[in-house]
A and B are shown apart, each in its own frame.
Chain A
Amino acid sequence: MSASVAAAQPSPLQIDALAKRFGQVTAVDGITLELRSGECLGLLGPNGAGKSTLIRSIVGRVIPDAGAISVFGAPADSAAARNVLGWIPQELALYPRLTCYENLYAFGRYHGLGGRALDDEIEWCLRWATLTDRASHLVNTLSGGMKRRLNMAAGLIHHPKLVLMDEPTVGVDPQSRNHIFEMIEKLRGEGMSIIYTTHYMEEAERLCDRVAIVDHGKIIALGTNAELVQNAFGSRSQVLARFAGADNRVTTWVTQHGGQAVDGAAQFTIEHPTEIAGLLEDSAKAGLELLDVSLHKPNLESVFLHLTGRELRD
């Protein structure tokens, strides 16, 4: 493929100044975003940040008040967009009294598939979700992790080019979560473009090429993991110190020294590790009894805290 042809291809997803209000609540507040071909873009933010509304707008289930969305150049909710768009909703959107096979068959038919093509897709989906041996099992007899995997497979039955995953690991145990990560990594290997919403920092760090941090319906930072950390902290590190009897004295002391109290611990951002000694000396002078101290590089959670003053899971 020549460079000029590649350049002419529309982006998998282009969102311009999207806004949506529900009554007095602004769920999405002027979001502009472009997804690159073959990219996995994470939407990271706490519950209620507007991630799901954004996803539902892309999939045509929410009509925005303002702004535009195009999927491979076609308007969202157009037939062309539906054909290339796969949506994995947060809820287990399955027919509980149907088997795995029957669920995939139903959603395949809803997407216009039939005959051999549908059989092939069902087989691929079952294999991808490692549910081949459960094909004839009823959904309501599956474990939570299996249901999640089938929920994902049902969104991919028509082999979309762009997949929207809305917190696909909600309520899943760590082992099943790893299983799901491997499934997503397989999709990435096939070159699918993915939007992945989560409020788990470690998921975004592991799976996503770029991360958009969403809060109060806005994208407050966008970039690769390294870029976000670099932009927020530069070369600085973070120190976390715990003191006995976490009380108001700790909070007052932390605030006086330009740090933040997080879960009763003191958190400081420092340029050089040598600054730790000064902080510990000051705490001793203030009569605080140190329990432990640690130094670590900032991560996405730190970036979110830095940008919003709140933790991701608030």
Chain B
Amino acid sequence: MMISAIVRTALVSLRRDRGALALSFILPVTFFSIFAVIFGGQRSGMPKISVLVVDEDHSKISERLTEGLKHEGSLVINTRPVPAKGVEQPEYTAATAEAAVKEGKAPVAIVIPHGFGENPISFGPANGDRPTITLLEDSSDMIAPQVVSGLLQKIAMTSMPDVMAEQGSKYFDQFAGGLTREQRDSLNDGIRFLRERHESGADASDSGNGGIVAVTSRAVLGGSKHDMVSFYAAAIGVMFLLFTASGAAGALLDEAESGTLDRVLSSRITMTTLMLGKLVYNAFLAFLQLVVMFLWGWAVFKLDFWSHIPGFVVMGVFTAFAVASFGLLLASICKTRAQLGALSTLVILVMSSIGGSMFPRYFMSETMQKAGLFTINAWAIDGFTKIFWRNEPISHLWPQVAVLTAIGVVLFAIARRVARRWEYA
């Protein structure tokens, strides 16, 4: 009987606490849905990988390989930049393609070198005289370069069967013809090489001997795992900034409840002044959090913080501004701290999951990636990645700065409008 009384009391309390009720049921369902959409294999929505192809060879073989890549459904192949103002742009060169990858326009570029058509298929150990396809990778995307590398081998097999046969027979003639002593030695060398490679655990894709076509991969930016720390510092940082900002903005609710807000508004302080004050404070707090986060990254994880200070300051200030406005909006919408706690948890976790704070957005379908653009997280993380990963100049941050500013201004304006309920009765 006593236990049932305790259960009943708890159930009634839960029913009356709508915030807790929402957290108990809506949050898990929401998250389940988001993760299901992202990882649940919704095939139609899976993202296609954008690949830049530079054909330096212009042979029939290289053109067939390019065509084969174009017919691969999971890839979007571009051989030249999109037309600017209706004017067709020249084809990518190795240099322009590398620059484009650095700018994040595509996660990977394939450079087919001069002479590839004459000797496209490779078996056995690499040697200096065989042309090698180069993959220019943006290793901040951990998936795309791996996928493209694999697909390249598959397409080489399927798009050039005759070449395969011809080259195969050539190799057979070379290695298996009469099995002379020299031939046997040569074959044994090859087998020994492969065994040694296997035992050394070297990455097959790096040496160009892991597949039918010889491929060399090169990370055009970043490249060390320390640089990935900047991604996580930004991704996790922004999520916690959002939590802190909404918590700090909740002081408004405390002040409203205690009557302090009334007293403040009966002085010379207006609601706009008060909210601007809160905005500056919350933004300062958020910026300070980012500084601590990145300093920790530098001290513990060797993040290259000091050579990116100007870009960090720009992104830090505008991210902090947007986050502070967001917190004020949540606080002004809610009537109690409990409501704020529930709403902020729900909104922030959803924003963080689709905005790339929990896992990189390139894991997600195109639809989810587009949805992510409605979050502060996505724009902030993109900006920090530009600075710390791509080493881009500050001027390249303008889209992120513009969007974060717009988000901050709009959210603050709405928050100010909603806060009118506190102004007068």
- Interface of A toward B, CB cutoff 8 Å: 22, 56, 59-63, 79, 82-83, 85, 87, 89-96, 107, 110-112, 154-155, 158
Kindly state whether residue B44 has any CB partner on chain A within 8 Å.
no
CB pair B268 A89 closer than 8 Å: no
Residue of A at shortest CB range from B263?
Answer: A93
Enumerate chain B residues within 8 angstroms of A87, measured Cβ to Cβ.
Answer: 263, 266
CB pair A112 B265 closer than 8 Å: no
The 9 residue pairs across chains A and B that have the minimum distance between CB atoms? A91-B259, A110-B267, A93-B259, A93-B263, A93-B260, A62-B425, A63-B424, A111-B267, A59-B266
Complex: A276 Cα to B235 Cα, angstroms:
87
Whether A91 contacts B258 in the complex (CB less than 8 A), given A62-B425, A63-B425, comes out as yes
- Interface of B toward A, CB cutoff 8 Å: 258-260, 262-269, 424-425
CB pair A92 B425 closer than 8 Å: no
Complex: A56 Cα to B268 Cα, angstroms:
16
CB pair A82 B424 closer than 8 Å: no
CB pair B424 A61 closer than 8 Å: yes
Enumerate chain B residues within 8 angstroms of A95, measured Cβ to Cβ.
Answer: 260
Known: A92-B258, A93-B262, A110-B269. 11 other contacts (CB 8 A): A60-B266, A62-B424, A63-B425, A85-B266, A87-B266, A93-B259, A94-B258, A94-B260, A107-B267, A111-B267, A112-B268
Complex: A107 Cα to B267 Cα, angstroms:
8
For B263, give its contact among A22, A62, A107 (CB under 8 Å): A107
Report 8 cross-chain contacts, Cβ distance below 8 Å, ordered by A residue: A82-B266, A91-B262, A93-B260, A93-B263, A94-B258, A107-B264, A110-B268, A111-B268
Residue of B at shortest CB range from A79?
Answer: B268
CB pair A22 B425 closer than 8 Å: yes
CB pair B265 A61 closer than 8 Å: yes
For A93, give its contact among B258, B268, B424 (CB under 8 Å): B258
Complex: A56 Cα to B261 Cα, angstroms:
13
Enumerate chain A residues within 8 angstroms of B267, measured Cβ to Cβ.
Answer: 82, 107, 110-111, 158
Complex: A85 Cα to B266 Cα, angstroms:
9
Enumerate chain B residues within 8 angstroms of A158, measured Cβ to Cβ.
Answer: 267
Enumerate chain A residues within 8 angstroms of B424, measured Cβ to Cβ.
Answer: 60-63
Whether A56 contacts B425 in the complex (CB less than 8 A), given A93-B258, A110-B268, A112-B268, comes out as yes
Give the number of A-B contacts (CB < 8 Å). 54
Residue of A at shortest CB range from B423?
Answer: A61
Complex: A79 Cα to B270 Cα, angstroms:
11
Enumerate chain A residues within 8 angstroms of B268, measured Cβ to Cβ.
Answer: 79, 82-83, 110-112
- Minimal beta-carbon separation of A307 from chain B (angstroms): 28
Complex: A92 Cα to B254 Cα, angstroms:
12
CB pair A92 B263 closer than 8 Å: no
Complex: A59 Cα to B263 Cα, angstroms:
9
Residue of A at shortest CB range from B267?
Answer: A110
- Minimal beta-carbon separation of B256 from chain A (angstroms): 10
Complex: A187 Cα to B260 Cα, angstroms:
23
Complex: A96 Cα to B254 Cα, angstroms:
11
Enumerate chain B residues within 8 angstroms of A59, measured Cβ to Cβ.
Answer: 266
Complex: A111 Cα to B269 Cα, angstroms:
8
Whether A61 contacts B258 in the complex (CB less than 8 A), given A22-B425, A56-B425, comes out as no
Whether A89 contacts B262 in the complex (CB less than 8 A), given A22-B425, A62-B424, A62-B425, comes out as yes
Enumerate chain A residues within 8 angstroms of B425, measured Cβ to Cβ.
Answer: 22, 56, 61-63
Enumerate chain B residues within 8 angstroms of A92, measured Cβ to Cβ.
Answer: 258-259
- Minimal beta-carbon separation of B250 from chain A (angstroms): 14
Chain A CB count within 10 A is highest, among B259, B267, B269, for B267
Residue of B at shortest CB range from A57?
Answer: B425
Complex: A82 Cα to B269 Cα, angstroms:
10
Enumerate chain B residues within 8 angstroms of A56, measured Cβ to Cβ.
Answer: 262, 425
Residue of B at shortest CB range from A86?
Answer: B266
Enumerate chain A residues within 8 angstroms of B262, measured Cβ to Cβ.
Answer: 56, 61, 89, 91, 93
- Minimal beta-carbon separation of B420 from chain A (angstroms): 11
- Minimal beta-carbon separation of B270 from chain A (angstroms): 10
Enumerate chain A residues within 8 angstroms of B266, measured Cβ to Cβ.
Answer: 59-61, 82, 85, 87
Complex: A95 Cα to B259 Cα, angstroms:
10
- Minimal beta-carbon separation of B127 from chain A (angstroms): 73
- Minimal beta-carbon separation of A127 from chain B (angstroms): 21
Complex: A13 Cα to B344 Cα, angstroms:
45
- Minimal beta-carbon separation of A31 from chain B (angstroms): 17
Complex: A85 Cα to B263 Cα, angstroms:
12
- Minimal beta-carbon separation of B28 from chain A (angstroms): 35
Residue of A at shortest CB range from B274?
Answer: A110
- Minimal beta-carbon separation of B116 from chain A (angstroms): 71
Complex: A158 Cα to B260 Cα, angstroms:
17
Chain A CB count within 10 A is highest, among B264, B266, B424, B425, for B266
